């Protein structure tokens, strides 16, 4: 008896349908998803993305928090020191008896404290309630001074007859206050510009050294990368400076230095404006200079010229804040104008049109430096190895 014949087609395993090649390469074909390649972001969008990355990265670092606290502390200390130097209540309390009460009449820096007699006046001096006491005697003046353990020179000077002094060129500001304000403007600009400038330089070199820049340039144009770095760090620096200015206004109000606030308010606003443009100028130089090297060991060498431009305004304004000629030159030189012009405005030696002219010169210089810096940055960013010569980059076509 013959074996039954099986139906081969029914018993065989089902053969899967062939998969189109484009479906294998693109899994989204089955799900109905788009298979188009993502478009490369434009220059503006890419620059904003880089700026956002710079801001988010910086605000999370301890160095940013510490530098911010240091800047705020320096400015606050300067304001408090200014309040102490300006004096607060400078009146001297003096005990007087009925026979000497008229001696202190009309003296603005003396406060009379009545005592019944000489013994009561002497007791007030011993208790520290008054600095000294005026009691009658038989001398030509008709009174003498009782003091505890040292001669009250301020009281003696107040009671002495002094000739009137006329100043031919009076100064509108106190020397100590002028120095503190000049120091504040110079130090804030120095710390912010050098700190964020060094951050831009280190970020640029690290990206070159690790070859990350090659991946970035595959998605982001080089000019957008440069613009994003400058924009992000400028936003952080501007935020710090604006915060410092706001804190200074509040501190001056709280410490009762309304007169100082009246003359410092306008210079503070101009300082913030000049600082923003001046920082962009220096940041462009920091980024372009750093793009010339590929190793962190070479950063200090290539940044030496721009560091000189950053530190020079500070030392000039500290040592020559009383030299009008030096301050005038500083206020028109783009690299020192963010410090020189606000100091001149505080001292009242600049007329209304000078900050406008100085700002225009600074803006034009910044635009030119940004264009030159972008050219250097673009041509040297992918060059790995020894330091790229600036002359070689500028000659390249």
Q: How confident is the model at residue 22 (pLDDT cuts 50, 70, 90)?
A: very low
Q: What pLDDT digit, counting tens, does each position of 104-130 carry?
A: 776 767 788 888 888 888 888 888 888
Residues 49 and 229 sit within 8 Å (Cβ to Cβ): no
pLDDT, residue 32, reads: 47
pLDDT at 297 over 90: no
The 10 Å CB-count burial string (b at 16+, else e) for 231-240 is bbbbbbbbeb
pLDDT at 222 over 80: yes
Question: What is the rounded CA–CA span in Å between residue 392 and residue 372?
Answer: 14
pLDDT at 93 over 80: yes
Q: What pLDDT digit, counting tens, does each position of 168-203 carry?
A: 666 666 677 788 888 889 988 998 899 889 889 988
Least confident interval from 32-36, 194-198, 203-207, 305-309: 32-36
Who contacts 397 (Cβ-Cβ below 8 Å, separation ≥6)?
none
pLDDT, residue 166, reads: 66
Higher pLDDT, residue 90 or 332 = 332
Q: How far is CA 169 from the centre of its chain?
A: 33
pLDDT, residue 41, reads: 67
In sequence order, the β-bridge partners of residue 4 are none
Q: How confident is the model at residue 19 (pLDDT cuts 50, 70, 90)?
A: very low
Query: For tokens 């008709």, what's the residue?
Result: 142
Share of the chain above pLDDT 70, in %: 83
Question: What is the rounded CA–CA span in Å between residue 264 and residue 198?
Answer: 30
pLDDT at 89 over 70: no
Q: How far is CA 307 from the centre of its chain?
A: 16
Question: What is the rounded CA–CA span in Å between residue 67 and residue 217?
Answer: 31
Residues 278 and 270 sit within 8 Å (Cβ to Cβ): no
State the pTM of this model. Answer: 0.69
Residues 158 and 107 sit within 8 Å (Cβ to Cβ): yes
The 10 Å CB-count burial string (b at 16+, else e) for 334-346 is bbbbbbbbbbbbb
Query: Which value, in Å, is the radius of gyration of the alpha carbons in the chain?
Result: 36
pLDDT, residue 277, reads: 94
């Amino acid at each position: 008896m013959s074996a039954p014949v099986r139906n081969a087609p029914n018993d065989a395993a089902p053969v899967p349908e062939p998969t189109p090649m484009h479906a294998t390469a693109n899994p989204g074909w089955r799900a109905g998803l788009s298979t188009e390649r993502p478009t490369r972001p434009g220059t503006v969008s890419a620059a904003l993305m880089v700026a956002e990355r710079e801001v988010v990265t910086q605000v999370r670092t301890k160095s940013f928090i510490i530098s911010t606290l240091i800047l705020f502390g320096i400015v606050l200390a300067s304001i408090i020191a200014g309040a102490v130097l300006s004096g607060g209540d400078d009146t001297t309390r003096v005990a007087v008896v009925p026979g000497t009460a008229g001696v202190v009449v009309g003296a603005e820096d003396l406060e009379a404290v009545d005592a019944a007699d000489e013994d009561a006046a002497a007791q007030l001096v011993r208790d520290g309630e008054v600095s000294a006491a005026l009691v009658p005697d038989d001398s030509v003046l008709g009174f003498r001074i009782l003091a505890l353990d040292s001669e009250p020179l301020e009281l003696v000077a107040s009671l002495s007859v002094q000739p009137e002094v006329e100043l031919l060129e009076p100064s509108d500001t106190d020397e100590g206050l002028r120095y503190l304000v000049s120091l504040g403007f110079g130090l804030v600009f120095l710390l912010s510009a050098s700190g964020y400038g060094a951050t831009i330089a280190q970020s640029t070199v690290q990206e070159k050294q690790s070859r990350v820049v090659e991946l970035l340039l595959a998605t982001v144009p080089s000019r957008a990368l440069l613009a994003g770095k400058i924009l992000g760090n400028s936003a952080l620096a501007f935020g710090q400076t604006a915060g410092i200015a706001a804190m200074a206004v509040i501190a001056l109000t709280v410490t009762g230095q309304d007169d100082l606030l009246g003359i410092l308010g306008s210079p503070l606003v101009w300082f913030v404006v000049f600082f923003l443009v001046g920082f962009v100028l220096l940041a462009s130089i920091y980024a372009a200079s750093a793009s010339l090297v590929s190793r962190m060991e070479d950063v200090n060498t290539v940044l030496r010229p721009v560091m000189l431009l950053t530190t020079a305004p500070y030392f000039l304004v500290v040592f020559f804040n009383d030299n009008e000629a030096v301050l005038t030159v500083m206020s028109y030189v783009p690299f020192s104008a963010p410090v020189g012009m606000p100091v001149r405005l505080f001292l009242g030696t600049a007329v209304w049109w000078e900050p406008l002219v100085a700002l225009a010169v600074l803006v034009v210089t910044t635009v030119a430096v940004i264009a030159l810096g972008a050219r250097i940055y673009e041509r040297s960013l992918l060059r790995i190895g020894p330091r790229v010569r600036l002359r070689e980059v500028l000659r390249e076509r």
